[in-house]
Structure 1
């Protein structure tokens, strides 16, 4: 810009209010010229890109197979085996999702049309809208090339067909055994006379060890010695033990002897989706689940006072043995875990 025009409002460098339409310092340059890609001009490059996309869809299918191998063919009885299983499940799921996502992106980048389009708005008319919608769908199908590229179509269909299966198997184990679901959660290792021991060390606990305001994580005695199914049993049997002033407990009929001098034991498994309840507020006597903030009132038999949980925490009846150690009177009187299971 010349020196004499610097800062001059009439130089034309800046659009001003009231300026006639179409008069701007820089005219609209419009859309840049379309530059064809290599796959648009070279059939061999297009075929190569098609094979690449199909290979990515196959990677997704292989990832799903790896997931199933880890989920069903890998043992999980020990911590080491569980880590190997989780590795297969994680890698399988990752490659299943990554293969589909990357394949679709590569398909769009190399094979689908990339020319710019401008569509004028039109009046809304029911019949015309239907016709226009059909034309749009036909254009999308035609431009995607899915009709004339059977390799892409078939591998994509295969990947999409098997990709949801891992989620289905995780959410529902497809177990045909008779004790599936709530029946499996109805029974734990707790039984008459089974001592309460500290988790994870396994040392027994005397009633005198539990002070008012404390919260102790316990498991049934003998759980650490299991050779098979230890983690599954622990997932059902973990318990929180706390002590209150007996006068603070609101006890319902039939539970008068379920506590010992204000010492109470409740399942740690939240009745919402099964997260571990691990936070105890001493002043309010509330137990809090950190996953979705379900809150249970310890004074009122762990009934729900806030959050999405729909059921109180199951109580474990306890007493002491001849040596003063805390023991269970029986198993839980109801299933532990999420309340969306049928409990009848």
Structure 2
């Protein structure tokens, strides 16, 4: 027999579009196996006798996992919306609820996915027929006949497992998948519910804790590691070429641990205070010519690329480095980016020294702190 004859005897004649339209789902499913060179060696249903107690126990077991997933997804939605998440200082009433918010929603979300996955695996193991098939490998894209017949094959597999008559499993699986989908949607849209523009010029996007409230002086304070220990910064505290991280401080906050902690943990408060070496030539940004105090410059530590802490300073070339994605900013040129993915200069904080010799903020930043995306002013 020639190779051509062998090939024609191995691969059946492909049906015409008209013949394909006239085939039933069962015929299409059989054709799918034939066209894919699939040989079914063994195929036996898991439950030859329908309605037995063992089959019902298996069905209830699978449905239990789907129901647990649905209940966990419902709990996730309730916790995400109603669980107290506003900051509470350690030791104060309600701190336990606040501290357990993230673990609670994390556990519920994780268990939802886990139970849903176990339910799917249990259904496959308990109700899919025991089948052994051998298929020859083929490369390349499937044609229209293959795509149409494989759908019929999937439909046939669903009928073989009797999924249509297992209402308990289909309803519990539908509830689990549906509630889980709602939970994912709420988690995705939840952060967008708050209007970031609420408050106009005083919206959270525009103001930081460096802004003065009722005219109160905002000092530059170093972190000593002890929350209640106040250490304000003087010019003589920094050597030429040195850099120190500072945070905002008001005298009205003395003894107020919550306010002091917020000033150190807020994402837009860390500032690097840099003292350039005497005689260093600088280029100042238009409109910010008087933001520095002599050789002292204060820039936000929040990288304008993705918000990482740009906390490394090279005295030799006056470059500020962000360790996350290697963005570099030139401190002698208003912290403009000179390398890496960042495209916007680090915001500069206007500073001066008060009558007592302490550094103070003359005003808040005049531009948004952090990554430059949609929150930029038009």
* TM-score, structure 1 normalization: 0.75
| Cα deviation, residue 227, structure 1 | 4.4
> 241, 244, 252: which is aligned to 2:273?
241
Gaps in structure 1 of 5+ consecutive residues: 1-30
Structure 1 residues 141-160: aligned runs within 5 Å: 141-142=158-159, 145-160=162-177
- Distance change (3 Å), C-alpha of 1:154 and 1:207: farther
Deviation per CA, 1:250-276: give whole Å up to 9, x if none.
312222211122222222222233333
CA gap 1:165/1:291 in 2 versus in 1, 3 angstroms: farther
- 1:280-322: CA deviation from partner (whole Å, max 9, x where unpaired): 3443433333443333333332223333334222111111111
Secondary structure in structure 2 of the residue aligned to 1:235? coil
Deviations 1:192-232 (A, max 9, x none): 53101113544211111122343322211046737479649
CA distance in 2, matches of 1:181, 1:92: 37
Give the corresponding residue for 2:220. Answer: 196
2:353 aligned with 1:320: yes
Change (3 A) 1:205 1:134: same
Against the structure 1 CA distance between its residues 38 and 147, is the aligned structure 2 distance closer, same or farther, given a 3 Å change threshold?
closer
Does residue 111 (structure 1) correspond to residue 127 (structure 2)? The answer is yes
Q: Does 1:138 align with 2:155?
A: yes
Question: What is the RMSD of the two structures over their aligned residues, measured on CA atoms?
Answer: 3.6
Q: Does 1:184 align with 2:204?
A: yes
Deviation at 1:174, TM superposition (A): 1.7
Structure 2 Cα separation of the partners of residues 241 and 54 of structure 1: 61
Q: Does 1:91 align with 2:111?
A: no
**Whole-Å separation in 2 of the counterparts to 1:165 and 1:129:** 35
Give the distance between the partners of 1:305 and 1:159, measured in 2 at CA: 51
Separation in 1 of the partners of 2:167 and 2:105?
Answer: 30
Shift of 1:130: 3.5
Q: 1:128 aligns with which of 145, 154, 161?
A: 145
1:336 aligns with 2:346: no
Deviates further, 313-322 or 219-228: 219-228
Structure-2 change in CA distance of 1:168 and 1:230 (3 Å)? farther
1:19-47 Cα distance to aligned partner (Å, 9 max, x none): xxxxxxxxxxxx9x869797677843343
What is the DSSP-based 3-state SS (H/G/I as helix, E as strand, rest coil) of the residue aligned with 1:96? helix
> The residue matched to 1:117 in structure 2 has which SS?
strand
